Amino acid sequence: MSVTVRIPTQLRTLTGGSGQVSVEGSTVGEVLKALDGAHAGFGERLFDDGGDLRRFVNVFLADEDVRFLEGLATPVADGQTLSIVPAVAGG
C-alpha cells in the first residue's frame, strides 16, 4: 500500500527538503514507522516516550484528523494522502 505523506517545513530537514514522500503501510501507525525507517529521525519527533503521537502533532488522513478516526490504527488505502501538521495554529 503506497501512501503519500505531506511533510511540514519543520521536518523537511529529515527528507532532504522534500515536501512529500511516498512510503508503504496499511495503517497510519505503520506508515509513520515506515517514514522513520526511510528517513531516520521522524520517530522521535512524532512520538512521545509512550509511543503515542506528541501532543502538538496532528496527523490527517485525506484531510480528516486521525483522532476522529481510529488514531494510529486507522487503516489507509493505496494512494491516500497523510499530512503531518503542527497543531499550534489558529484562534
Out of 65, 69, 71, 80, which residue is the one contacting other proteins (CB under 8 A)?
A: 65
Q: Grid coordinates representing 26?
A: 496499511
**Chain Cα centroid distance, residue 60:** 8
With vertex at residue 60, the alpha carbon angle to CA 9 and CA 35, rounded to the nearest 5 degrees, is: 60
Q: Is 49 in the site for other proteins (CB under 8 A)?
A: no
Give me the residue label for grid cell 511540514.
Answer: 8
Sign of the dihedral defined by the CA atoms of residues 25, 67, 85, 42, in that order: negative
Per CB under 8 A, the segment of 23-31, 32-40, 54-62, 69-77 that binds other proteins is 54-62
Q: Is 63 in the site for other proteins (CB under 8 A)?
A: yes
Out of 16, 51, 78, 89, which residue is the one contacting other proteins (CB under 8 A)?
A: 89
Q: Is 9 in the site for other proteins (CB under 8 A)?
A: yes
Q: Is 16 in the site for other proteins (CB under 8 A)?
A: no
Out of 40, 62, 77, 87, which residue is the one contacting other proteins (CB under 8 A)?
A: 87
CA–CA separation, 9 and 20 (whole Å): 11
